[in-house]
Amino acid sequence: MRVAIFTVELDRDGPGVLLRDIRKDDAQVLAVAGVIAAADPDVILLTRFDWDFEGRALTAFAEVLARSGASYPHRFAPRPNTGWLSGVDLNGDGRVRLPEDGQGWGRFAGHKGMALLSKWPILTDHARDFSGLLWADLPGATLPKTATGAPFLSSEALATQRLSTTGHWAVPVDTPEGKVTLLVWHATPPVFDGPEDRNGLRNRDEARVWSLLMGGQIDGEPPPDAPFVLLGNANLDPQAGDGHRAAMAELLAHPALQDPRPTSAGAAAEGRASDTVAWDQAGEPGNMRVDYVLPQAGLEVSGAGVLWPVQGDPARALLGKDGRGASRHRLVWVDLVLRAGS
Protein backbone atom coordinates (compact mmCIF):
# COMPACT_ATOMS: atom_id res chain seq x y z
CA MET A 1 0.00 0.00 0.00
CA ARG A 2 1.53 3.30 -1.07
CA VAL A 3 0.31 6.20 1.08
CA ALA A 4 1.11 9.78 0.05
CA ILE A 5 0.64 13.41 1.05
CA PHE A 6 0.88 16.22 -1.48
CA THR A 7 0.30 19.88 -0.66
CA VAL A 8 -0.84 20.77 -4.16
CA GLU A 9 -1.41 24.53 -3.72
CA LEU A 10 -4.53 24.28 -5.89
CA ASP A 11 -6.21 27.11 -4.01
CA ARG A 12 -7.54 30.11 -5.83
CA ASP A 13 -8.74 33.66 -5.13
CA GLY A 14 -12.47 32.94 -5.22
CA PRO A 15 -15.11 30.21 -5.20
CA GLY A 16 -15.45 28.34 -8.47
CA VAL A 17 -12.10 29.52 -9.83
CA LEU A 18 -10.36 26.19 -9.27
CA LEU A 19 -13.16 24.35 -11.08
CA ARG A 20 -12.78 26.76 -14.00
CA ASP A 21 -9.03 26.18 -14.11
CA ILE A 22 -9.41 22.41 -14.00
CA ARG A 23 -11.88 22.48 -16.88
CA LYS A 24 -9.58 24.58 -19.03
CA ASP A 25 -6.56 22.29 -18.41
CA ASP A 26 -4.62 24.87 -16.43
CA ALA A 27 -0.87 24.20 -16.55
CA GLN A 28 -0.54 23.84 -12.78
CA VAL A 29 -3.48 21.44 -12.61
CA LEU A 30 -1.91 19.23 -15.28
CA ALA A 31 1.47 19.38 -13.56
CA VAL A 32 -0.02 18.29 -10.23
CA ALA A 33 -1.83 15.43 -11.96
CA GLY A 34 1.42 14.37 -13.61
CA VAL A 35 3.24 14.23 -10.28
CA ILE A 36 0.49 12.12 -8.71
CA ALA A 37 0.33 9.77 -11.70
CA ALA A 38 4.11 9.30 -11.60
CA ALA A 39 4.08 8.42 -7.90
CA ASP A 40 0.96 6.26 -8.29
CA PRO A 41 -0.09 6.09 -4.63
CA ASP A 42 -2.98 3.88 -3.58
CA VAL A 43 -4.22 6.56 -1.20
CA ILE A 44 -3.27 10.24 -1.24
CA LEU A 45 -4.12 13.25 0.90
CA LEU A 46 -4.32 16.52 -1.00
CA THR A 47 -3.93 19.68 1.04
CA ARG A 48 -4.53 23.24 -0.14
CA PHE A 49 -7.25 22.07 -2.51
CA ASP A 50 -10.33 24.31 -2.60
CA TRP A 51 -13.49 22.61 -1.35
CA ASP A 52 -16.97 23.24 -2.73
CA PHE A 53 -20.31 22.00 -1.41
CA GLU A 54 -21.06 19.59 -4.27
CA GLY A 55 -17.47 18.45 -4.72
CA ARG A 56 -17.39 19.59 -8.33
CA ALA A 57 -13.75 20.65 -8.33
CA LEU A 58 -12.64 17.38 -6.74
CA THR A 59 -14.70 15.34 -9.21
CA ALA A 60 -13.29 17.30 -12.15
CA PHE A 61 -9.75 16.87 -10.85
CA ALA A 62 -10.29 13.12 -10.42
CA GLU A 63 -11.26 13.02 -14.09
CA VAL A 64 -7.98 14.75 -14.99
CA LEU A 65 -6.11 12.20 -12.88
CA ALA A 66 -7.92 9.34 -14.60
CA ARG A 67 -6.87 10.69 -17.99
CA SER A 68 -3.31 10.80 -16.64
CA GLY A 69 -3.51 7.12 -15.71
CA ALA A 70 -4.28 7.51 -12.00
CA SER A 71 -7.84 6.49 -11.20
CA TYR A 72 -9.26 7.34 -7.75
CA PRO A 73 -12.93 6.36 -7.65
CA HIS A 74 -13.20 6.83 -3.88
CA ARG A 75 -12.97 10.30 -2.35
CA PHE A 76 -13.57 11.93 1.04
CA ALA A 77 -13.75 15.69 1.52
CA PRO A 78 -16.07 17.03 4.24
CA ARG A 79 -16.30 20.77 4.73
CA PRO A 80 -13.07 22.15 6.20
CA ASN A 81 -12.79 24.84 8.85
CA THR A 82 -11.00 27.15 6.43
CA GLY A 83 -13.19 30.06 5.35
CA TRP A 84 -15.94 29.11 7.81
CA LEU A 85 -17.00 32.44 9.28
CA SER A 86 -17.18 32.06 13.05
CA GLY A 87 -19.60 34.94 13.62
CA VAL A 88 -17.27 36.21 16.34
CA ASP A 89 -14.47 38.78 16.36
CA LEU A 90 -11.64 36.29 16.85
CA ASN A 91 -8.69 38.61 16.33
CA GLY A 92 -10.02 41.54 18.36
CA ASP A 93 -10.04 44.15 15.59
CA GLY A 94 -13.66 45.12 16.20
CA ARG A 95 -14.96 43.55 12.96
CA VAL A 96 -16.33 40.15 12.02
CA ARG A 97 -15.24 39.13 8.52
CA LEU A 98 -13.24 36.64 6.48
CA PRO A 99 -10.50 35.66 6.39
CA GLU A 100 -9.44 36.87 9.84
CA ASP A 101 -12.50 35.61 11.70
CA GLY A 102 -12.87 32.25 10.02
CA GLN A 103 -12.46 29.09 12.05
CA GLY A 104 -9.49 28.57 9.75
CA TRP A 105 -7.93 31.26 7.55
CA GLY A 106 -9.71 31.40 4.21
CA ARG A 107 -11.20 34.01 1.90
CA PHE A 108 -14.30 31.92 1.23
CA ALA A 109 -15.92 28.70 2.42
CA GLY A 110 -13.59 25.81 1.69
CA HIS A 111 -10.61 27.92 0.62
CA LYS A 112 -7.41 25.88 1.08
CA GLY A 113 -9.30 22.71 2.04
CA MET A 114 -8.15 19.12 1.83
CA ALA A 115 -9.31 15.86 0.30
CA LEU A 116 -8.53 12.17 0.53
CA LEU A 117 -8.43 10.09 -2.68
CA SER A 118 -8.25 6.30 -2.73
CA LYS A 119 -8.16 3.41 -5.18
CA TRP A 120 -9.94 1.34 -2.53
CA PRO A 121 -13.28 1.97 -0.79
CA ILE A 122 -13.33 4.61 1.93
CA LEU A 123 -15.53 3.59 4.85
CA THR A 124 -17.13 7.01 5.18
CA ASP A 125 -19.79 5.81 7.64
CA HIS A 126 -17.01 4.95 10.09
CA ALA A 127 -14.93 8.10 9.61
CA ARG A 128 -14.41 10.38 12.59
CA ASP A 129 -14.09 14.15 12.25
CA PHE A 130 -12.45 15.95 15.18
CA SER A 131 -12.59 19.34 13.46
CA GLY A 132 -15.27 20.66 15.79
CA LEU A 133 -13.09 20.33 18.90
CA LEU A 134 -12.72 23.71 20.59
CA TRP A 135 -9.15 24.82 21.15
CA ALA A 136 -9.96 25.66 24.77
CA ASP A 137 -11.23 22.09 25.32
CA LEU A 138 -8.00 20.40 24.25
CA PRO A 139 -6.31 18.91 27.33
CA GLY A 140 -3.21 20.95 28.15
CA ALA A 141 -3.93 23.61 25.53
CA THR A 142 -1.66 26.65 25.59
CA LEU A 143 -3.84 29.63 24.69
CA PRO A 144 -2.41 32.98 23.55
CA LYS A 145 -2.06 35.86 25.98
CA THR A 146 -1.45 39.59 25.69
CA ALA A 147 1.71 41.28 26.91
CA THR A 148 0.03 41.84 30.28
CA GLY A 149 -0.80 38.17 30.67
CA ALA A 150 -4.50 38.54 29.93
CA PRO A 151 -6.21 36.12 27.56
CA PHE A 152 -5.78 37.25 23.95
CA LEU A 153 -9.02 35.57 22.91
CA SER A 154 -12.24 36.95 24.38
CA SER A 155 -14.55 34.67 26.34
CA GLU A 156 -16.85 34.64 23.30
CA ALA A 157 -13.94 33.69 21.05
CA LEU A 158 -12.81 30.94 23.43
CA ALA A 159 -16.30 29.46 23.33
CA THR A 160 -16.24 29.49 19.51
CA GLN A 161 -12.69 28.99 18.25
CA ARG A 162 -12.07 25.49 16.95
CA LEU A 163 -8.60 24.01 17.18
CA SER A 164 -8.38 22.61 13.65
CA THR A 165 -7.37 25.11 11.00
CA THR A 166 -8.44 22.81 8.18
CA GLY A 167 -9.45 19.56 9.84
CA HIS A 168 -8.44 16.48 11.81
CA TRP A 169 -9.95 13.26 10.44
CA ALA A 170 -9.67 9.54 11.15
CA VAL A 171 -10.72 7.80 7.94
CA PRO A 172 -10.74 4.00 7.47
CA VAL A 173 -9.91 2.58 4.06
CA ASP A 174 -10.92 -0.94 3.07
CA THR A 175 -7.74 -2.36 1.52
CA PRO A 176 -7.50 -5.87 0.02
CA GLU A 177 -5.79 -6.97 3.26
CA GLY A 178 -8.24 -5.31 5.64
CA LYS A 179 -9.00 -1.93 7.12
CA VAL A 180 -6.33 0.76 7.54
CA THR A 181 -7.17 3.99 9.36
CA LEU A 182 -5.71 7.24 8.02
CA LEU A 183 -5.23 10.08 10.50
CA VAL A 184 -5.00 13.29 8.48
CA TRP A 185 -4.59 17.00 9.15
CA HIS A 186 -3.33 20.30 7.78
CA ALA A 187 -2.22 22.82 10.39
CA THR A 188 -1.90 26.59 10.33
CA PRO A 189 1.51 28.12 9.55
CA PRO A 190 3.06 29.14 12.90
CA VAL A 191 3.64 32.71 11.67
CA PHE A 192 1.57 35.68 10.42
CA ASP A 193 0.55 36.74 13.93
CA GLY A 194 1.85 39.03 16.68
CA PRO A 195 3.70 38.68 19.98
CA GLU A 196 0.78 36.69 21.37
CA ASP A 197 1.92 33.83 19.08
CA ARG A 198 -1.65 32.82 18.31
CA ASN A 199 -0.79 30.86 15.16
CA GLY A 200 2.35 29.33 16.63
CA LEU A 201 0.55 28.02 19.69
CA ARG A 202 -2.36 26.77 17.62
CA ASN A 203 0.01 24.98 15.24
CA ARG A 204 1.66 23.26 18.20
CA ASP A 205 -1.65 22.10 19.63
CA GLU A 206 -2.82 20.88 16.22
CA ALA A 207 0.13 18.46 16.28
CA ARG A 208 -0.54 17.52 19.93
CA VAL A 209 -4.06 16.30 19.06
CA TRP A 210 -2.64 13.07 17.71
CA SER A 211 -0.56 12.19 20.77
CA LEU A 212 -3.58 12.81 22.96
CA LEU A 213 -5.87 10.78 20.70
CA MET A 214 -3.45 7.85 20.52
CA GLY A 215 -3.23 7.96 24.31
CA GLY A 216 -7.00 8.01 24.77
CA GLN A 217 -6.78 11.42 26.46
CA ILE A 218 -9.51 13.25 24.53
CA ASP A 219 -12.86 12.93 26.27
CA GLY A 220 -15.29 10.66 24.46
CA GLU A 221 -12.79 9.72 21.76
CA PRO A 222 -11.23 6.25 21.82
CA PRO A 223 -7.76 5.75 20.32
CA PRO A 224 -7.67 5.13 16.55
CA ASP A 225 -8.27 1.64 15.27
CA ALA A 226 -5.11 -0.21 14.27
CA PRO A 227 -3.41 -0.39 11.90
CA PHE A 228 -3.18 3.34 11.24
CA VAL A 229 -1.08 5.87 9.37
CA LEU A 230 -0.70 9.53 10.34
CA LEU A 231 -0.22 11.90 7.41
CA GLY A 232 -0.56 15.56 6.65
CA ASN A 233 1.01 18.98 6.39
CA ALA A 234 2.08 19.97 9.88
CA ASN A 235 3.57 23.29 8.72
CA LEU A 236 6.23 22.48 11.29
CA ASP A 237 9.84 21.31 10.97
CA PRO A 238 11.52 19.67 14.00
CA GLN A 239 14.81 21.43 13.25
CA ALA A 240 14.09 24.69 11.43
CA GLY A 241 11.67 27.59 11.14
CA ASP A 242 9.79 29.79 13.58
CA GLY A 243 7.34 27.20 14.95
CA HIS A 244 7.45 25.28 18.21
CA ARG A 245 9.84 22.67 16.84
CA ALA A 246 9.77 20.49 19.93
CA ALA A 247 6.11 19.64 19.26
CA MET A 248 7.03 18.04 15.93
CA ALA A 249 10.07 16.31 17.39
CA GLU A 250 7.88 14.84 20.15
CA LEU A 251 5.31 13.60 17.64
CA LEU A 252 8.01 11.99 15.48
CA ALA A 253 9.37 10.24 18.57
CA HIS A 254 5.96 9.01 19.79
CA PRO A 255 6.21 5.29 20.63
CA ALA A 256 3.00 4.51 18.71
CA LEU A 257 4.54 5.85 15.48
CA GLN A 258 7.55 5.26 13.27
CA ASP A 259 9.31 7.75 11.04
CA PRO A 260 10.52 6.23 7.75
CA ARG A 261 12.44 9.48 7.10
CA PRO A 262 11.64 9.85 3.37
CA THR A 263 14.38 11.62 1.43
CA SER A 264 15.19 12.71 -2.11
CA ALA A 265 18.27 13.44 -4.16
CA GLY A 266 16.76 16.76 -5.23
CA ALA A 267 16.31 17.98 -1.67
CA ALA A 268 19.80 16.76 -0.73
CA ALA A 269 21.29 18.77 -3.57
CA GLU A 270 19.57 21.93 -2.34
CA GLY A 271 19.87 21.49 1.44
CA ARG A 272 18.67 18.62 3.60
CA ALA A 273 17.64 15.31 2.04
CA SER A 274 14.52 15.16 4.23
CA ASP A 275 13.05 18.52 3.11
CA THR A 276 9.62 18.42 1.48
CA VAL A 277 9.02 22.02 0.40
CA ALA A 278 11.05 24.43 -1.76
CA TRP A 279 10.67 27.72 0.11
CA ASP A 280 13.91 28.89 -1.42
CA GLN A 281 13.16 32.29 -2.92
CA ALA A 282 13.32 35.84 -1.59
CA GLY A 283 10.90 36.40 1.26
CA GLU A 284 10.50 32.67 1.94
CA PRO A 285 11.88 30.89 5.03
CA GLY A 286 14.03 28.30 3.24
CA ASN A 287 13.48 24.64 2.43
CA MET A 288 11.94 22.59 5.24
CA ARG A 289 10.36 19.29 6.17
CA VAL A 290 6.67 19.97 6.82
CA ASP A 291 4.80 17.13 5.01
CA TYR A 292 4.68 13.76 6.77
CA VAL A 293 3.62 10.12 6.40
CA LEU A 294 4.09 8.33 9.74
CA PRO A 295 2.92 4.70 9.94
CA GLN A 296 1.96 3.04 13.18
CA ALA A 297 4.90 1.40 14.94
CA GLY A 298 5.18 -2.23 13.94
CA LEU A 299 3.84 -1.84 10.42
CA GLU A 300 6.32 -3.11 7.83
CA VAL A 301 7.72 -0.29 5.69
CA SER A 302 9.21 -1.40 2.38
CA GLY A 303 10.09 2.01 0.95
CA ALA A 304 9.70 5.76 1.34
CA GLY A 305 10.65 8.86 -0.57
CA VAL A 306 10.02 12.42 -1.65
CA LEU A 307 9.36 13.05 -5.34
CA TRP A 308 12.06 15.69 -5.87
CA PRO A 309 14.36 14.84 -8.81
CA VAL A 310 17.71 16.59 -9.18
CA GLN A 311 18.53 19.09 -11.90
CA GLY A 312 19.34 17.21 -15.10
CA ASP A 313 17.10 14.24 -14.31
CA PRO A 314 14.39 13.98 -17.00
CA ALA A 315 11.86 13.41 -14.21
CA ARG A 316 12.57 16.95 -13.03
CA ALA A 317 10.09 18.12 -15.68
CA LEU A 318 7.30 16.70 -13.50
CA LEU A 319 7.81 19.56 -11.05
CA GLY A 320 6.87 22.12 -13.68
CA LYS A 321 8.43 25.46 -14.50
CA ASP A 322 11.43 26.36 -12.31
CA GLY A 323 10.73 23.28 -10.20
CA ARG A 324 7.70 25.04 -8.71
CA GLY A 325 5.11 24.88 -11.49
CA ALA A 326 3.14 22.09 -9.85
CA SER A 327 3.67 23.20 -6.24
CA ARG A 328 6.45 24.40 -4.02
CA HIS A 329 5.74 21.29 -1.95
CA ARG A 330 6.81 17.80 -3.00
CA LEU A 331 4.80 14.61 -2.90
CA VAL A 332 5.87 12.39 0.03
CA TRP A 333 5.17 8.64 -0.08
CA VAL A 334 5.62 5.56 2.08
CA ASP A 335 5.12 1.94 1.01
CA LEU A 336 3.64 -0.48 3.54
CA VAL A 337 3.48 -4.26 3.44
CA LEU A 338 0.00 -5.27 4.61
CA ARG A 339 -1.06 -8.75 5.59
CA ALA A 340 -4.58 -9.92 6.33
CA GLY A 341 -5.26 -9.57 10.03
CA SER A 342 -2.27 -7.27 10.64
236-253 pLDDT per residue, tens? 999 999 999 999 999 999
Backbone angles phi, psi at 324, to 5 degrees: -135, 5
* Helix or strand (DSSP H, E) at 62: helix 56-67
Question: What is the pLDDT at residue 92?
Answer: 86
Task: Write down the mean pLDDT value for the chain.
Answer: 97
Cβ atoms within 10 Å of 59's Cβ, excluding its own = 14
Q: How many helices (H) and strands (E) does the chain have?
A: 7, 11
What mean pLDDT is predicted for residues 5-24?
98
Asked if residues 239 and 255 have their Cβ atoms less than 8 Å apart, the reply is no
Q: Give percent above pLDDT 90 in the chain.
A: 98
How far apart CA 189 and CA 92 sit, in angstroms, is: 20
207-235 pLDDT per residue, tens? 999 999 999 999 999 999 999 999 999 99
141-194 pLDDT per residue, tens? 999 999 999 999 999 999 999 999 999 999 999 999 999 999 999 999 999 999
**258: helix, strand or coil:** coil
| Entry pTM | 0.97
276-307 pLDDT per residue, tens? 999 999 999 999 999 999 999 999 999 999 99
- By C-alpha distance, which of 255, 195, 217, 251 is closest to 140? 217
Confidence of residue 340 (pLDDT cuts 50, 70, 90): confident
50-90 pLDDT per residue, tens? 999 999 999 999 999 999 999 999 999 999 999 999 999 99
Roughly how many angstroms between the first and final C-alpha of the chain, as a whole number? Answer: 13
Pick the CATH number of 2-337 from 3.40.50.620, 3.60.10.10, 1.10.3720.10, 3.20.20.10: 3.60.10.10
- Burial pattern 305-335, b for ≥16 Cβ within 10 A else e, equals bbbbbeeeeeeeebbbeebbbbbbbbbbbbb
C-alpha separations of 215 from 138, 179, 192, 261 in Å: 13, 21, 31, 23
Confidence of residue 341 (pLDDT cuts 50, 70, 90): low
Read off the DSSP letter of residue 235: S
**Which range has the worst mean pLDDT, 11-20, 105-114, 332-341?**
332-341
Confidence of residue 342 (pLDDT cuts 50, 70, 90): low
pLDDT at 112 over 80: yes
